[in-house]
Structure formats: structure tokens, C-alpha cells
Structure 1
Amino acid sequence: MIGIVWSAIDKIAVQLGQFIVGIVLARILIPEDFGLVGMLAIFIALSQTFIESGLGIALIQRQDRTDVDFSTLFVFNLTVSSFFYLLLFFSAPFISNFFKQPQLTDLIRVLSLNLIVNALAIVQRTKLAITLNFKVIAKSNLIGMIVGGVCGIIAAKYNYGVWSLVIQIIVGSLASCVSLWFLSKWTPSVIFSRNSFQKLFNYGSKLLIAGLYAQTINNVYNLFLGKFYPAASLGYYTKAKSFSDISAGTIASILQQVTFPILTSVQDDKVKLVSIYSRMIRMSAFFIIPIMTLICLLAKPIVVLLLTEKWVFLIPLLQWMVFARIFLPMSAVNLDLLNAIGRSDLFLKVDLSKLPLTILAMVITIPLGVKAIIIGHVVTSAISFMINAYLPGKFYGYGPIQQLKDMIPIVVATIGMAITVFVLTYFIDSLVLQLLLGGSFGMVSFLFFCWILKLEELKEIGGLLLKCFVKLKS
């Protein structure tokens, strides 16, 4: 549980910091600047997936890992990242011509340097995750967020425009990488074992294919929006996505970082495995459902007060996007279970089985505009959750229907919260008061309804916070 606490501190602090930095940058920059960086997202994401190739996860899952395995992973990551940097460097003019945005040539040549920087720290993060040392990971991520954020804001203040976002990303990654090397105290040796690589890749290759598929699906909308719509439209889309990911992405990331090594360690104990797995599903729902609902209800004051009136077109997009991401944490736990028991082949099959659904949604919604695309996300994410939960249900008797049943009390408490917030904000004209009172009364009313319904998650969180307080005090 201490691992979960440190992982939560890491993700929440970093996401909160990035949220604040993003607000400051959005107030200074224009939507087009965010759209330009969004056009490059798919190229960077696919390259990063190739660099990682699922080998880090394979190393965590493997029980008989050696120093040679870590060195092999380091050499592979560095070699492949250098290759993809050169590939993107020379492909930059073609990417620029595709989007008809001349400034993209220089942007991608500089931004892709981040691939090499990230590759230098993959092994350190893997070693720390294996030992559940999330405290060091949290420190390095926090350092990167602060240094990168400050540099990005300074650049924006001095009118560097879209380059402010590039500076924020690269400087932040570099600061995090340097701190990881210093804090982890691991020095790589330049050893590459073909035997070691083959064993890792046998497991990681399925994750590589699944990762390429996931990143393509996750970023392909950026490609089409950047090609057929103004850069501002893509800017609104990426900002709606980043806002919703503050909560959904943070919770999913915490669960993935902690639950995978924990589930891996008990993969031979079915009773304990199911117990941990079901608790994580319920706990993720306990946080994500009320948070996303609250963001939807308070979307107008959030956008106007934090980002100014120039982002007003973001409001309806954000209201739909939060519900498109609401199943993300639960889906992440279901897929992590397959990886934890060594069934990366099933992980891949589950991911690929959703391809026809995604293609159909794209064909229907892309010609209709940004709002239609996000509504399509809502439908596909709900169906994808059912698909992701099918095999865990088949193996362990805790499938989508049982998971949804366990969420019913949380949904009831959330409905009570939603009615409270809606009635309260309906009679208030001030956006500031809507945000402050709606947010505070929303959280209090949700906890009150949870107490009335006697939700076990509320007791568990209370006990965990008390335990952590006592430990920190001692």
C-alpha cells in the first residue's frame, strides 16, 4: 500500500503541476500552438513505443532477471531511439508538407530529441518499479515537471509561441532523466546479450504490437484533424483530452504502475490475485466516476476562469470527453491482469479485437467534426471496457457484469452529488462561486452519500490515510 501512496503522490503532484503549467501556457498561447504540437503526437508516440518494445514490462514480469538483462535493455533502447531520431529528422519535410505547415519541419527535428532523452532513463524506471521504489520515481518526475514547466512559461512570456511547448517537454524530460541517474545509482554496462534480448522480446513483442495499435488509435484522430481541419480545432481537441486525462489518466497511471508488479508477484495465488484485482476495479471507479461527473457539471467555469474566453469552444468538447475517458482506469486494470499472468498474447488479441469498432467510429465521426469524434469516443470506450473485462471474467469469475454491479452504489452516490451540484449552481450567476461552491459541495455530498450507502471503499481509504499519517508522524 505504501507503493500506491507514493505512486499516487507522484502522479497527482505531477499531473497537478502540469495542469497548472498548462493553464498558464494556455492563457499566454493560442489554440493553434497546441494544435501544431498535436499534429506531431502520433509520430512521437509510435517511435516511443518501438523504443520501449514492451521489454521493460517483460523485465518486470520475469522472475529470474539478471544484470545482463538490464544492460541489454539499455543498449537496445539507446540504439533504437537514435535510429528513430534520424528517421524523423530526415522525414520532417514530408510531414510538414502533409499537414501544409512549414514550421513543423524544425519543430519535429527538435522535439524528437526527446526520444533519446527518455530512452536513457527507461532501465532506471524499470529497476525502481521492480523494487516498488516509487518514492525515487516520484522525486524525479516532480523535478522534471517543475524545471520543464518553469522553462516553458518563461519561453512563452518572451513570445516563443509554439516553441514554448517544445522547450517545456524536452527540458522537463532531461531534468527527470538526470535526476533518475543520480537517485537510482545504477550504472549501465555496454553489454548486449542476444539470448537475453530474445527471451525478453518473446514476451514484449506482443506488447509492442498492442502498443503500436493503441498509440495509433489514440493519436490517429490528431492526424486527420490536423490534415482536414484548422490547427485551432486540433488545439481544442488536444486540450479537452489533456483536461480529462488529468483525472482519468492519473488514476489509470497510478494503478498500472503499482498493480502490475503487485499482481505479478501473486500470479500463482488465485484467491489473492482476484482479491487485489477486484479491489483495484472498485477503487478506480470510486475515484473516477464522481470526478468526471463533477468536471462535466462545472465545465463552463473551469474553462472560462482558467483558460479565458478565447477557449470557450472547448466547453462542450470537455463535457463529452470526460465521459469518453471514464472507463479508462478500469480497462487498464483488466488489461494489466493479462500481462501480470504472462498472457501478453491475449492482451494483444483483446486489443486487436476492438479494431473494427474503432475504424467504424472513425469513418462515421471524422467527417462530422470534433464534437462528433468525441461522442464516438464515449460509445467506443464503453464497448471497449466490456471487451477488456471479458477474459478476466472468464478466467477468474469477475467479468464486466460483476464489475458494473460493484459500481452501482458508486453511481448512485454520484447521481446524488450531481443533483446537489446542479441545483446549487443553477441559482448562482458568478462563475467563481459556481466553481468554488460546486466543487466543494460536490465532494462533500459525494462522501456523504457514500457514508449513507456504507461503501467499503470509503472505509478503506480512511484506514489507509490514517495508517500513512501514523507512519509519517513516527
Structure 2
Amino acid sequence: MSSSLKNKAVKGVAWSFVDNIANSGITFLVGLVLARLLSPAEYGIMAMIAIFIAVSNSIIDSGFSNALIRKIEIKQIDYNTVFYFNLFVSIILYILLYAISPAISDFFKEPVLVEVTRVIGWVLIINALAIIPRTIFIRNVEFKVQTKVSLISSIFSGIVGIGMAFYGMGVWSLVGQQLSRQLLNTLFLWTFCHWRPVWEFSMRSFKEMFGFGSKLLLSGLLNTIYKDIYYIIIGRFYSSAQLGQYTRAQQFNIIFSSNLTSVVQRVSYPVLSSMQDESERLKQAYRKVIKVTMLVTFACMLGLAAVAKPLIVILIGEKWLMAVSFLQIICFAGMLYPLHAINLNILQVKGRSDLFLKLEILKKIIAVGPIIIGIFYGIEYMLWGSVFTSFIAYFLNSFYSADLINYPTKDQIEDILPTFGVSFVTAAVMWCLSLLDISMYILLPMQCLLGFVLSVAIYEKLKLEEYIEVRQMVISLLKRVK
């Protein structure tokens, strides 16, 4: 990787990470306050419509964002074509969602869902307006502006949500928080982006990008439905309170796993795309991304599983204790998410969206098993099934991506096994501390301090290349802060 490209990637990772902290981290902190003001059932109600919003957003984008990012030479007409398509589809989908809201309410047996669905559905149109400005910033690996936007949006929407909850508005406080965040985010992206649409549409441009993006659309839909199908299963066959417990566990998981995955995808995709025709250079960059990413991921996810109980009890209270076991299981599946994302990025970089789609179909067929288990045997059995399918999915992803860059699954495992071993041993020692009969307010800092000191000591002894890379990045970032 050239020096300029490496610097661009490092800056992209840094700002993208801060962006995610602003967008998800601050939202998470706001969520801690809301979790003490609201009940698990109210969180469950919001989760019931999550899949409908997520699927609609996938259809609106239709894979065009990735098609635009990957395109070597881009014209203004390409942006305009995608913009008007996104906006048109978002309006159609909102009308459809408005019409079927009574059916959604009847399915989950929650009368309030009619109005909640019709109001929260406005985020579809709001998000559609933001797709092109966001894509332009990602394409240029410029995340500084997005960081500022996310910071402002997350803080003010948090104030809105907490204020509404304080005045007893229940589930509507969550609706208000989401709507205000997306609205502010879109407004500020347009403020900072110099691009403005003009009235033009190219069918040739549309067909070109849709040829690539349509397969990603179908893949994305399958992935979105699979990720959010648990909301439907738990909401339909269990209670809204149990669904609320599951969503809180997912929120803790998102702070590390999903944010790391998002950062890796957003930064590695445009950077790796820029060297898509240089096989050896692409392989080396890809290998480094995997090793560095998984060192951080294993440490965060296994460490989170070890401290789950004191963390949840201290932050949001004992009424959320059921979420502890959910979170611990989710962490074992979540630790592989960034690895999935990196392997799938290679398929997109190489233009193999057809293979991307076939893989998603195959993986989702395999994933039906845990869903059926969840219906008949319980939520925890379903989550353990998702851990099993996550490992199968990794082997499938890495098997197909390996041929494209000559980086076999066996080599990948050998590269990440040392960091997994260090993190697993460290997390096990951290968890053993929970057997002590001490206050959780003492236990949690003890576990965190021990985990940090032990892992650093081991890595300093081993002198792994990826650890040195991470250490240098952290030192560099600290110097810039000073």
C-alpha cells in the first residue's frame, strides 16, 4: 500500500471510527438513560417494525451506493439518476407502509403500532435524500464531515428523546429520537456537500449501475431480513418485554461488533477498490486489514461477553438482567461480523456481485434452522444456532473470496488464530473474577483493568505485526489529539 493511500486509509479509519462513536456511541449513552425511563415492552414495540424499515431502506438504495463508490470514472448524471430513483422509490414504499400498518398491528397484537409505523415511516424519505451526499463523502474517503454531522445529530436527537421520555411519552420518545436524528443528519449532510441535483435521468447509467447493484440489493435484502427476522419471531411468539430485552442486548453488541464492521466496510471498500487491478498489492492490503481488524474485534467482543452482567446491571439496572445471557451468546456470533464484511468486500471489489448474491442465498437457507429452533425451543437456543451458522458463513465467504486474491481460508485462520487465542485467554481470566463475591461496582473496573493489562503484556511479549500496527495507530492518534 502506497504511503499516500495508507495515510488516507488511516485517516479514514480514524474519522470513521469517531463517526460511529458519535452516531452509535452517543445514541447508546442516550439509550442508557432511556432504558431507565422506559420499559422493555416499549423497546419491544419499536423493534417490531425494525425489519420493515430496514428492508425498505435496502430497496431504496438498491445497491447503487456501492455501485457509485466502485465506479472508476463517475459523471454528474450518475449521481442525479440515482438520486431521483432513490427518492421515487422511498415515496412509494412509505405509501405502502402506511397502508399495511393495520396488518402489522394485527400480526403483533399491538394496537399502537398503526400510528407508530405511519410516523416512523417518514425516515424512509428522509434517508433517501441523504444517500447521494453520504456516498460522495464515502467515495472520497472523507469522514470528517460525517463525523461532525453525526455528533450534532446524535446529541440533539438524544435531548429530544430523553425530554419526551421524561414527560411520560413512552414509545413516542423513541420515535422522536429516531426521526429527529435522521432529519438533522440529512439537513447537515446537504449543508456540507457541494453537490446539488439537476433534473436529468440516464437510463443507460441506471442500467449500468443496476446490473451491479441489483445483485447487491437482493443480497442486502436477504441479509437484512435474516438479521431482523429475530425481531419478528420473538415479537410474534414471545412477549414485547422479551423482545425489548433482546434489543438491549443487541444495542450493547452494536457498540463494538456492528460499529467495527461498519468502519471496516466503509473504509476498506473504497481503498481496496482503488487497487482492484493490482492482485499482489490488493492481497497484502487485504491481509493487513484482516489481521488488524480481528485483533481489535476479538478483544472487544470476548471482553464484552466476560463483563456482560456487571455492565448491564450497573448501566441500566436489574430489570434488564435477562439481556445478560442474550448478550453473551450474541458476542460469539458478533465477533465474526467484521471478518464476514471484509471477505464480502473482496467480491464487490472484484465485481462479483453475482457470487455475492449466491453466497447470501446459500447462507440464509442454512440459517433457517436456528429460526425454527427459536420458535419451538426458546430464544437462547435460537441465538446459539446463530453462532453456529456464523462460523459456517465465514468458511463460505472466505472460500469464495480466497480464489479471487489467492488468500486461502487456511492462511486466514493462521493469521487470526494468535489474536483469538490471546483474547480468549484474557476474557476467560476476566470472567473468572465474576465468581468472587464482591460488589459489581468493584468487579467491573477490576475486570476491565485486568483484561487490558494482561492482553497488552501478552502482545508485548509476542510482538505480533498486527499489534505493533495497532499500537502505532493509537500513538499517532494520541499525538494528534495533544
Q: TM-score range by the shorter chain?
A: over 0.9
**Matching residue within 199, 213, 222 for 1:190:** 199
| Matching of residue 105 in structure 1 with residue 114 in structure 2 | yes
**Residue 353 in structure 1 maps to residue 365 in structure 2:** no
**3-state SS in 2 of match to 1:63:** coil
Q: Which of 419-428 and 117-126 deviates more?
A: 419-428
Q: Name which of 280, 303, 319 aligns with 2:312.
A: 303
- The CA deviation at 1:366 is 2.4
- Structure 2: tracts of 5 or more residues without a match: 1-9
**Preserved contact between residue 282 and residue 405 of structure 2 (Cα < 8 Å):** no
Matched, 1:147 2:156: yes
Q: Which deviates further from its counterpart, 390-399 or 323-332?
A: 390-399
- How far apart are the structure 2 equivalents of 1:179 and 1:97? 38
Among 77, 84, 101, the alignment partner of 1:68 is 77
Q: Structure 2: how far apart are the matches of 1:365 and 1:425? A: 29
Work out the number of aligned pairs and report it: 473
Match of 1:46 among 52, 55, 65: 55
CA–CA separation in structure 1 for the residues paired with 2:444 and 2:65: 42
Q: Give 2:14's aligned amino acid.
A: V
Aligned equivalents of 1:136, 1:329: Cα separation in 2? 24
| CA RMSD between the two structures | 1.4
Shift of 1:416: 3.4
36, 40, 43: which one pairs with 1:27?
Answer: 36
Q: In structure 2, what is the equivalent of residue 382 of structure 1?
A: 391
Q: Which residue of 1 aligns with 2:267?
A: 258
* 8 Å CA contact retained: 1:283, 1:457: yes
Q: Which amino acid aligns with 1:279?
A: K
- The one of 408, 416, 422 equivalent to 2:431 is 422
Contact 1:46–1:216 (Cα < 8 Å) also in 2:
yes
Q: Which amino acid aligns with 2:175?
A: V
Deviations 1:381-409 (A, max 9, x none): 11111111111212223232221211221
CA distance in 2, matches of 1:446, 1:471: 25
Pair 1:136-2:136 in alignment = no
Q: Quick one: which amino acid aligns to residue 405 of structure 2?
A: Y
Partners in 2 of 1:395 and 1:60 — Cα distance?
Answer: 20
Match of 1:406 among 394, 415, 422: 415
- Corresponding residue for 1:220? 229
Partner of 2:124: 115
- What is the correspondence of 1:6-21 to structure 2 with a 5 Å cutoff? 6-21=15-30
1:342 aligns with one of 351, 356, 360:
351
Query: Is this contact kept in 2: 1:237–1:317, CA < 8 A?
Result: yes
Is the 1:416–1:445 Cα contact (8 Å) retained in structure 2?
A: no
Paired with 2:135 and 2:278, the residues of 1 have a C-alpha distance of 24
Residue 87 of structure 1 aligns with which residue?
96
Greater mean alpha carbon deviation, residues 162-171 or residues 7-16: 7-16
Q: 1:165 aligns with which of 138, 154, 174?
A: 174
Task: State the 1:423 CA deviation.
Answer: 4.3
Distance 2:421 2:232 in 1: 39
Identify the residue that residue 300 of structure 2 maps to in structure 1: 291
Does 2:269 align with 1:276?
no
Alignment gaps of 5+ in structure 1: none
Query: What is the CA distance between 1:309 and its match in structure 2?
Result: 1.1
Deviations 1:295-343 (A, max 9, x none): 1111111111111111111111111111121100010000011101111
For the structure 1 residues 416 and 355, does the alpha-carbon distance in structure 2 shift closer, same or farther, using more than 3 Å as the test?
Answer: closer
CA distance in 2, matches of 1:338, 1:89: 36
Match of 2:324 among 315, 321, 327: 315
TM-score calculated relative to the size of structure 2: 0.95
Q: Which shows bigger deviation, 176-185 or 402-411?
A: 402-411
Q: CA 1:470–1:228 in 2, change beyond 3 Å: closer, same or farther?
A: closer
Give the AA of the match of 2:222: Y
- What is the deviation of 1:290? 1.6
**3-state DSSP of counterpart to 1:121:** helix
In structure 2, give the amino acid aligned to 1:391. Answer: Y
CA distance in 2, matches of 1:106, 1:52: 25
Deviation at 1:50, TM superposition (A): 0.5
**Once the two structures are aligned, what percentage of the paired residues are identical?**
36
Instruction: State how far apart, in whole Å, the 2-side matches of 1:242 and 1:400 are.
Output: 31
Structure 1 residue 454 and structure 2 residue 456: aligned?
no
SS in 1 for 2:72: coil
Measure the CA separation in 2 of the matches of 1:55 and 1:221.
27
The alpha-carbon deviation at position 463 of structure 1 amounts to 2.0
Return the alpha-carbon distance in structure 2 between the equivalents of residues 426 and 375 of structure 1: 23
Further displaced range: 72-81 or 237-246 = 237-246
1:12-69 Cα offsets, whole Å, 9 max, x none, are 3332212111111111100001111111011111111110000011011111210011
- Between 183-192 and 53-62, report the one with greater CA deviation: 183-192
In the alignment, residue 370 of structure 2 is paired with which amino acid?
A
Question: Which residue of structure 2 aligns with residue 465 of structure 1?
Answer: 474
Counterpart in the other structure of 2:238: 229
- Partner SS, residue 346 of structure 1: helix
**Cα separation, partners in 2 of 1:472 and 1:227, compared to 1, 3 Å:** closer
Give the corresponding residue for 2:382.
Answer: 373
DSSP 3-state at the match of 2:276:
coil
